[in-house]
Amino acid sequence: MVALGSFLAGMLGSLTGLGGGVVIVPLLTLVFGVDIRYAIGASLVSVIATSSGAAAAYLREGYSNMRVGMFLEVATTVGAVSGAFLAGHLHTSIIAIVFGVVLLYSAYASTQTLADPPGGMPADRIATMLRLDGSYPTEQGPKSYHVRHVPAGFGLMYVAGMLSGLLGIGSGAVKVLAMDQAMKIPFKVSTTTSNFMIGVTAAASAGIYLRRGYIDPGLAMPVMLGVLAGALVGAKILPGAKVRTLRIVFGVVIAALAIEMIFQGVRGKL
């Protein structure tokens, strides 16, 4: 049952671009009664597995910006370690409430379709110095873009990393928001670069969960295999699916899980 639930979570996460982690943790805690810290540990393992395969494909296609990803990984990795450390000192009810709030934002983000920033924007001094500007393939050929507001994006990435380490999710919605809205990176580049970063961020915090004994192989293995299979099926379905409808359904499901997580957290039941 855990593997089947993980399969559905991976498929939904793949179809919406938010990853299966936002479904896995509430699924394990609310449906299967797993302690939230063990659920987070299993989710982190699944995030590493699913991110690695997709990231390699996007990199070959020329969408991911490796320089941006490696630079921002400094912030997300430090944030992930901070979040994982903080998780060991917070009551599980507080973690559940924070998770519920993040889920509500993810539900909102899943229904939004972001447009690429307008072209012709001037170069940013810091981005130029770090050589972060790049290009990505389009039907009309390679299209160049400039990276903007590097300090703001770096700060938001620390927050994204902390959420990943604390809650066991890829926090892709926050990463994409930082790159797309703050740094003005085109949406396709933002999502693919975020996917590359998610696995590294999760690996940083997973080490701390492993040392504390919160990664149970008997739980993490079926979750990882289920999410990975679901993500692959979701990638096959995506080209012919009505994405807008899928995003709305996903948003409703996530919102319901968020409210239940917050409710159980307030009651101290998790």
Structure tokens at 108: 């909102």
Q: What is the pLDDT of residues 81-117, one digit of tens each?
A: 898 888 888 888 888 888 888 878 777 766 665 555 5
Can you tell me the distance from the alpha carbon of 209 to that of 219, in angstroms, rounded to the nearest whole number? 14
Q: What is the pLDDT of residues 174-226, one digit of tens each?
A: 787 788 878 888 877 887 788 778 878 888 888 888 988 999 999 999 999 99
Can you tell me the distance from the alpha carbon of 148 to that of 166, in angstroms, rounded to the nearest whole number? 28
CB atoms within 10 A of CB 239: 7
Question: pTM value?
Answer: 0.76
Distance of CA 115 to the CA centre of its chain: 19
Is residue 175 within 8 Å of 198, Cβ to Cβ?
yes
Can you tell me the distance from the alpha carbon of 125 to that of 139, in angstroms, rounded to the nearest whole number? 30
At residue 46, the pLDDT reads 86
Domain ranges of the chain: 2-267
Q: What is the pLDDT of residues 37-80, one digit of tens each?
A: 899 899 888 888 777 666 666 677 788 898 999 999 999 999 98
